Amino acid sequence: MTLEQQIAQKLMLDLRYFGATSATRTPMRTLPTELAALIADTGLGGVILFAENLQDPEQILTLTDDLQLAAAASNSGIPLLISVDQEGGRVCRTPRSFTTAFAGNMALGATDERHGDGLTLACAAAMAAELSALGLNVNHAPCVDVNNNPDNPVINVRAFGDDPDLVARLGEAQVLGLEEAGVVATLKHFPGHGDTCVDSHTGLPRVDHDRSRLDKVELKPFADIIARQPPGMVMTAHVQFPALDSTELVGRDGKPVLVPATMSRAIITDLLRGQLGYQGVVITDAMDMGGISDYFEPLEAVIQAFAAGVDIALMPLRVRCPEDLQRLPALIAGVAAAVADGRLCSQALSASAQRILDLKWRFKLGNRRASRAQRLQWAESVLGCEQHRLLEQQLAQASITQVGAASVCLPPAGSWLLLLPELAQGQALASALRRFGDSSLQILVLSPRHHEDNVIRAAMATSDVVIGGYVSPRQSVAELGGMDDLARLTEQQLIRAHDPLRLKGLMKEARETGKWVVHLSLRAPYDCRIFAKEAHWMLASYAYHLDQTSPPHSASFDALARVLLGQATPQGSLPLKEVL
């Protein structure tokens, strides 16, 4: 390969939107001729797809096929890495209407005491089977960050828990389940994003622990998994670790910036490759995230990452319209110039490109012997199949965890008021309660986001049971999709609704007037400490996502309904040490 072809292999673009202008938000669901030509002309190494790109099985298969055909038309003919973020829980890019949406990592962590790594392995294999059937060959999972910071805004429930050994065991099982089914796994976010209180989408987090502590906690899952079940990829974290590297770089404003792990040779080459012995492909987290883009120009960020020893730069630039097409050749030329002037080593770059090729050949990415019609038939038999749906329900039921005091026996009849963050969530729980419960049970659904306190108080007055639900912390950019979604997090209505003290006050009033009060922790269960005095009973589900059905449905709300009605006992165990 030429130098330019090697560089192109080291780039992975997001093709989320493509339209007339750079401000377009038109989802790219069919491959435009301009993008096909760009892939063929440059020999691009990979792409990442988002929910907007994925509509139905035939459309997805056509898109992934066309992407591979464009890659095959390049001079090198090397197949593409076609990746997706499919962690489970809130980070699930494929449509929930026809694919299986397993609860996320913390739900799996809650099942460990009874099930070990069995459910984790089974869910990963099922997830990989569905991704592979759609032509997706890389999953940016598992997240093996150790979430030991209750205020972590971006990892929290995406972690298996706060015990490094638990995270390592379940992370290893997830790597095995994905890769045995033919999908490349990605350990993330190295060397650890669990003990941060800043989201690297919006800032540059810093972890100040010493090396001894990092070895015991943050680094341990990565070290253990690399030693026992090395994954195809490891993803870097846009996080500063002064104990690992105190080097400073010059930022875009001319001021010094402590090097983030993504750009640190001491962390990527010396630690990850040298000390931990990882020989696979290292990929950055998205380079358009604030932790990088706020401090460095795109070309400089890519050069620094490659100099650190990174193999693939993920989302180094945006291609949203025909006018943007020249950005990719310009980036490739800029990296080539850095090789020419000695900032990058040509031998190291060549070895990096070879690691990427070795990964592609290992997973046989170029093999497509069946016709599209045959593969569509196969996909429709695998996607959301009965076996996977049963596994989804088994995980949801096994993960429901009682937090704190002993369970109570709620009255099976009378009037129950559901106060969940969104009306659709309340409707999903109400639907499950009606399906499984007594026909005389009356259920009213309200939401603090959509109803004023006086309306809620009037409903509480005529209710026997008040069930409040809360999502903490509120969803992050990573769960919505990426930096294009940043504005959605600042909606004032959403911020106002996300006020625990408001719900706490309502639940306190309900308890003082003799109502049975239940708190449902629908995400990271750290919120239980807020509602512990108000609730007679607290349950954690670690998940609140809904299938795209009408009426709304969710395996997690089905599981909660069975427990609330006394038809099932909470089987899960808290995968976090300090919740109350």
Beta-carbon contacts of 118 under 8 Å, excluding residues fewer than 6 positions away, are none
> Minimal CA–CA distance to 145: which of 137, 131, 136, 157?
157
Give me the phi and psi of 459, to 5 degrees please: -70, -40
C-alpha 483/C-alpha 80 separation (Å) is 24
Structure token digits, residue 386: 């009965």
Q: Are 310 and 303 in contact (CB under 8 A)?
A: no
Length of the chain: 580
Which amino acid would we find at residue 410?
A: L
Tell me if 491 sits within 8 A of 497, measured CB to CB. Answer: no
Residue listed under structure tokens 């989802």: 27
Burial tier of 466 (Cβ tally within 10 Å: 0-12, 13-18, 19+): buried
Indicate the angle between helix axes 220-228 and 164-180, nearest 10 degrees: 40
Sheet holding 281-283, edge to edge: 281-283, 233-236, 184-190, 138-139, 81-84, 46-48, 11-14, 313-314
The closest alpha carbon to 350, from 305, 315, 314, 311, belongs to 311
- What's the maximum distance between 2 C-alpha atoms anywhere in the chain? 78
Q: What is the DSSP letter of 80?
A: P
Is position 547 annotated as part of the catalytic site? no
Q: How far apart are CA 361 and CA 152, in angstroms?
A: 38
Question: CA 63 to CA 359: how far, in whole Å?
Answer: 22
Q: How far apart are CA 221 and CA 445, in angstroms?
A: 42
Phi, psi of 384 (to 5 degrees): 60, 30
- The active-site residue out of 117, 285, 311, 527 is 285
Cβ atoms of residues 247 and 264 within 8 Å:
yes
Interatomic CA distance for residues 70 and 32, integer angstroms: 11
**Spatial CA neighbour of 359 closest among 77, 9, 63:** 9
The set of catalytic residues is 285
